[in-house]
Amino acid sequence: MSRKSIVKLVASAVVVVAAVVFLGGFAGGQDVMYHVQNRDKLGPLSRSDIEYLDVEAPEATSKDGTVNAQDWSAIYPYIAVSWGDNSKNSYVTDYLEQDPYLVNIYEGYGFAKDYGSARGHEYCLTDVHKTLRPHAKANCLTCKTPNFAKLVNDQGVGAYSMPFEEAEALMEESVSCYTCHANEAGKGGTRVVTHSYVNKALGDNAGAIDPSTLACGQCHIEYYFTREDSETMMPYQSVDTMTPENILAYYDSIDFYDWVQESTGAKMLKAQHPETETFLHGKHAALLNCADCHMPLEMANDGTVYHSHTLVSPLENETLLSSCAACHGDTDMVSMVHRLQERVTARETEVGNKLSGMKDQLAALVAAGDTGEAELDALRKLYREAQWFFDFCYVENAEGAHNSELAFRCLDTADTKIDEALALMEAL
Ligand code: HEC
Ligand code: HEC
Ligand code: HEC
Ligand code: HEC
């Protein structure tokens, strides 16, 4: 290539890049890019107003050496009090009463007996104790208390298969400081992953996730219990692979199922609460972390600035709501989010009822006993898949607000699979 044509090539490349940057600004990317670079300026207060302490952890009063919220309260009074305030959120919606079709879809599994909405973190231990869902093993404690994370870290994966009652007797507090900071909160609130399976599953890829998202991502995720040692585990290794499609393919590849449903004979899956997966594939993923929208920055009377640790809906907190304006301008965020959630909920109800109807037809075929096993298996597979995609959306607690595209993609995929099953049955 001659020197002249190289110069021409470089010049045209510069023009293209400049045009992209320029148009990007006009297409609304400008605000967004501004806030990517100024992530701590979402309101009048910002992270730079926080006075980060570098102090030794106080002596642990818990038997297992975890420094608890009470222990920290002398150093971080406001944070400790705000954490305690999670107990104010005690309202529970009974999903089974709200959406009766669930009882039919979850037939044969604990969630058909007892499934209420999430409430404050303070209630984790009480709620897991009194749930009507059976829990034979200690692994149910994984996401409820730092004492269990510590037990696993001290004793290894054997802790997961301890009898539930035996392990429960060792638990001292619900989710707490140690869960997200280990005993390192004194070092400027450094976030530490204490749940070992997160590091095991993600390995070096964990570094691609903001620590203030990964802190929540220790629990607000899809997980399963391994067959070998009942260990809690995530069904993927990276952000790229944490999609419902990839997770299903993974479960298929290890023949994993949560239960075999009696009336249909299908090997069923139950999704957990994939907030992190849903959020990380959504429109805010590169811009914000979970704390930005769920932990408002507050100033105490003495001027101390801190992240409130009362984990609330951004729609119920003025500070969080006003932070949306940095990118969303004067949009009424409450009605914007509610409108979106209403659309998702309506579609959920439609697909959920259709799935329940399809399940009844499949159960009737199984009961009649005159359909071949190969045909039944094809139907069971479609039913398993449809339920998986439906559930991935249903159990995600933001009802579409974290990622509406993914919510609709899940429900549309479920709908398509139900239609395929219905067509197969029609053709029998
Ligand atoms: C150790 C596990 C764990 C971690 C870590 C965790 N959560 Fe939770 N979270 C739960 C559980 C379990 C519930 C349901 C509690 C119940 O109903 O008993 C819950 C409920 C919630 C709720 C709904 C409850 C309410 O008060 O409305 C919100 C919001 C929430 N979490 C946000 C977060 C955010 C944000 C983070 C990260 C800063 C986080 N959580 C970290 C386990 C966890
Ligand atoms: C852009 C802001 C934003 C970010 C970032 C964000 N969320 Fe949310 N989240 C919302 C909104 C909006 C809702 C819906 C609230 C409502 O319905 O009142 C919500 C709802 C929730 C709920 C259900 C709350 C309830 O009361 O039932 C949980 C749990 C939750 N988010 C966890 C997370 C986690 C974990 C992360 C990080 C992986 C995260 N959120 C990141 C905006 C956000
Ligand atoms: C569910 C996870 C979680 C729990 C439990 C938790 N923190 Fe935090 N903590 C965070 C996150 C996330 C941040 C915000 C970091 C950021 O993005 O700037 C934070 C920030 C902090 C900071 C830095 C100062 C600030 O306000 O940002 C301190 C100090 C701190 N936490 C102490 C505590 C103490 C003490 C407890 C127990 C009473 C506690 N944390 C419980 C997740 C948690
Ligand atoms: C740093 C910039 C930024 C902030 C701050 C921000 N958003 Fe957004 N939000 C965006 C962008 C960019 C989009 C995508 C817009 C689009 O595609 O039209 C978006 C989209 C949304 C959507 C639609 C998501 C979907 O998947 O359909 C909701 C809901 C939302 N934001 C809620 C909130 C709430 C609530 C807050 C405040 C608590 C907030 N946002 C704060 C940048 C931001």
Please write the tens of the pLDDT for every residue from 247-306: 999 999 999 999 999 999 999 999 999 999 999 999 999 999 999 999 999 999 999 999
Ligand 4 atom 40: residue of nearest CA? 324
* In the chain, % of residues over pLDDT 90: 71
Tell me which ligand sits closest to the C-alpha of residue 409. 4
> Is the predicted pLDDT of residue 394 greater than 60, yes or no?
yes
* In the chain, % of residues over pLDDT 70: 85
Give the Å distance between the CA of 142 and the centre of ligand 2.
21
Pick the more confident residue, 124 or 239.
239
129 Cβ inside 6 Å of ligand 3 = no
The predicted structure's pLDDT at residue 124? 64
Give the Å distance between the CA of 189 and the centre of ligand 3.
5
Ligand 4 atom 27: residue of nearest CA? 404
225 Cβ inside 6 Å of ligand 1 = no
- pLDDT band with cut points at 50, 70 and 90 for residue 35: low
Q: Which of 31-40, 108-117, 145-154, 295-304 has the highest mean pLDDT?
A: 295-304
Q: Give φ, ψ of 384 to 5 degrees.
A: -55, -45
Pick the more confident residue, 29 or 109.
109
Given a contact cutoff of 8 angstroms between Cβ atoms, the answer to whether 277 and 241 are in contact is: no
Averaged pLDDT for residues 140-146: 87
Give the Å distance between the CA of 93 and the centre of ligand 4.
26
345 Cβ inside 6 Å of ligand 2 = no
Q: Where are the beta strands (DSSP E) in 265-419?
A: 267-268, 297-299, 305-307
Q: Which atom of ligand 1 is nearest to the CA of 124?
A: 18
Given a contact cutoff of 8 angstroms between Cβ atoms, the answer to whether 147 and 117 are in contact is: no
The predicted structure's pLDDT at residue 367? 97
> Is the predicted pLDDT of residue 3 greater than 80, yes or no?
no
Give the Å distance between the CA of 282 and the centre of ligand 1.
19
d(CA 392, CA 137): 24
> Is the predicted pLDDT of residue 135 greater than 70, yes or no?
no
202 Cβ inside 6 Å of ligand 2 = no
Q: Which amino acid is at 10?
A: V
Ligand 4 atom 19: residue of nearest CA? 283
Q: Which atom of ligand 3 is nearest to the CA of 290?
A: 12
Structure tokens at 53: 């302490």
The predicted structure's pLDDT at residue 28? 45
Structure tokens at 27: 């297409």
The string of pLDDT tens digits covering residues 188-224 is 999 999 999 999 999 999 999 999 999 999 999 999 9
The predicted structure's pLDDT at residue 143? 85
Pick the more confident residue, 18 or 170.
170
> Is the predicted pLDDT of residue 141 greater than 90, yes or no?
no
Averaged pLDDT for residues 344-367: 98
Ligand 3 atom 17: residue of nearest CA? 212
Phi-psi region of 268 (alpha: psi -120 to 50; beta: other; left: phi over 0): beta
Averaged pLDDT for residues 68-87: 93
The predicted structure's pLDDT at residue 376? 98
Give the Å distance between the CA of 158 and the centre of ligand 1.
26
220 Cβ inside 6 Å of ligand 3 = no
Least confident of 160-164, 204-208, 241-245, 270-274: 160-164
d(CA 100, CA 349): 10
Q: What residues have CB less than 8 Å from 23, skipping those under 6 apart?
A: none
> Is the predicted pLDDT of residue 414 greater than 80, yes or no?
yes
Tell me the whole-structure pTM to 2 decimals: 0.92
Beta strands 232-233 and 224-225: pairing type? antiparallel
Best residue among 89, 327, 402, 404 to mutate for probing ligand 2, ranked by most atoms within 8 Å of CB: 402
Q: Give the relative orientation of helices 333-368 and 318-328 as an angle to the nearest 10 degrees.
A: 100
Q: What residues have CB less than 8 Å from 253, skipping those under 6 apart?
A: none
Given a contact cutoff of 8 angstroms between Cβ atoms, the answer to whether 92 and 204 are in contact is: no
Pick the more confident residue, 141 or 87.
141
Q: 238-242: long-range contacts at Cβ-Cβ below 8 A with a sequence spacing of 24 or more?
A: 238/202, 238/205, 238/208, 239/205, 239/208, 239/209, 239/280, 239/281, 242/274, 242/276, 242/277, 242/280, 242/281
The predicted structure's pLDDT at residue 87? 74
d(CA 259, CA 44): 50
- Quote the longest CA-to-CA distance of the chain: 80
89 Cβ inside 6 Å of ligand 2 = no
The predicted structure's pLDDT at residue 9? 47
Ligand 4 atom 15: residue of nearest CA? 283
Mean pLDDT (the chain) is 88
Tell me which ligand sits closest to the C-alpha of residue 311. 1
Averaged pLDDT for residues 101-114: 85
Closest-CA residue to 183 (of 142, 215, 146, 220): 146
Least confident of 17-21, 168-172, 343-347, 400-404: 17-21
Q: Which atom of ligand 4 is nearest to the CA of 406?
A: 26
Closest-CA residue to 47 (of 218, 187, 188): 188
The predicted structure's pLDDT at residue 113? 76
Q: Which atom of ligand 4 is nearest to the CA of 28?
A: 12
CA 208 remoteness from chain centre: 17
d(CA 89, CA 104): 29
Q: What residues have CB less than 8 Å from 426, skipping those under 6 apart?
A: none
Ligand 1 atom 30: residue of nearest CA? 311
